[in-house]
Amino acid sequence: MNTTPITASPDYAAIKQRQQATWASGDYAVVGTTLQIVGEQLVEAADVRADELVLDVAAGNGNATLAAACRYARVTSTDYVGALLDKGRQRAEAEGLAVHFEVADVEALPFEAGSFDVVLSTFGVMFAPDHATSAREMLRVVRPGGRIALANWTPEGFIGQLFKTLGKHLPPPAGLRSPALWGSEAHITALFGPSASDLRVERKHFNFRYRSAEHFLQVFKTYYGPTHKAFAALGDEAGAALERDILALTKEHDIGGGRGLVVPSEYAEIVVTLA
């Protein structure tokens, strides 16, 4: 008799419903706008040209969207949380940039095969629960010879460690793969390598700059969906323990020398050129 335990697949539909509620909570744009430089650098790495058809997936408040639109690309900005797209739309209107915004799930993109020259995502697609399906959808909608460019936090970096800290206090659903895997070259190669004529992964750093570790905690606890929801789910005692751990992690990585908080966080800048 086979006594091997059967591991149930994660309920991706239920997980995504919870994720949508998570990212709609707080106000991600407060944190997201501080990451604008990453979108600028990613669009340069992808060599986005004027009039290219560009899709930003899990676009959040639109950092890569705006960077591509500033270069006169024809950009479609998507996310499965409409409130986040509203923030991107407000930014594009303020800058006088022409962008098409559309609510869409990266795991089921409503576009024909080969519709885009470039697909972008900055710290977005990495949070989609079904990694393989997300990768297949991005590959499907890019034309042959097109590019997929991603910025993903690494497992070893500060935000990767923050994810681990959150998971210690509030474990993720059983069977769900860590979003930080998207910052691993081996994982990216497994997802995209067979379809690529070229695949480049460069490790870079983004510096979080806040007044203090306590200021960082206050902003992330109030506005950043995953930490906002984690604290909401924990009681006072467990929440206080999570606060202590986040403060300790932040202070451990601080290189500001007492003149404001400066915490480098490693991320992978990835450019995949399709065959």
The domain that holds 143 is classified in CATH as: 3.40.50.150
261-274 vs 196-210, strand pairing mode: antiparallel
Which residues contact residue 253 at a Cβ distance below 8 angstroms, ignoring those fewer than 6 apart?
158, 161, 263, 264, 265
pLDDT band at 18 (very low <50, low <70, confident <90, very high): confident
Q: In angstroms, what CA-CA distances link 65 with 160, 188, 273?
A: 24, 22, 19
Whether the per-residue pLDDT at 30 is higher than 70: the answer is: yes
What are the residues facing 150 on neighbouring strands? Answer: 121, 270
116-122 vs 99-103, strand pairing mode: unpaired
Residue 222 in any domain: the answer is no
Whether the per-residue pLDDT at 8 is higher than 70: the answer is: no
Q: How many domains does the chain have?
A: 1
Residue 193 in any domain: the answer is yes
| 8 A C-beta contact, residue 137 and residue 106 | yes
Residue 228 in any domain: the answer is no
What is this structure's pTM? 0.93
pLDDT band at 1 (very low <50, low <70, confident <90, very high): very low
**Domain range enclosing 44:** 12-156+172-207+266-274
Inter-axis angle of helices 213-223 and 225-233, nearest 10: 80
Whether the per-residue pLDDT at 7 is higher than 50: the answer is: no
Residue 219 in any domain: the answer is no
Residue 75 in any domain: the answer is yes
Residue 190 in any domain: the answer is yes
Q: What is the largest CA-CA distance in the chain?
A: 67
Residue 167 in any domain: the answer is no
Lowest-confidence range among 6-15, 18-27, 71-80?
6-15
Q: Give the angle 212-64-215 at the CA atoms, nearest 5°.
A: 10
Residue 126 in any domain: the answer is yes
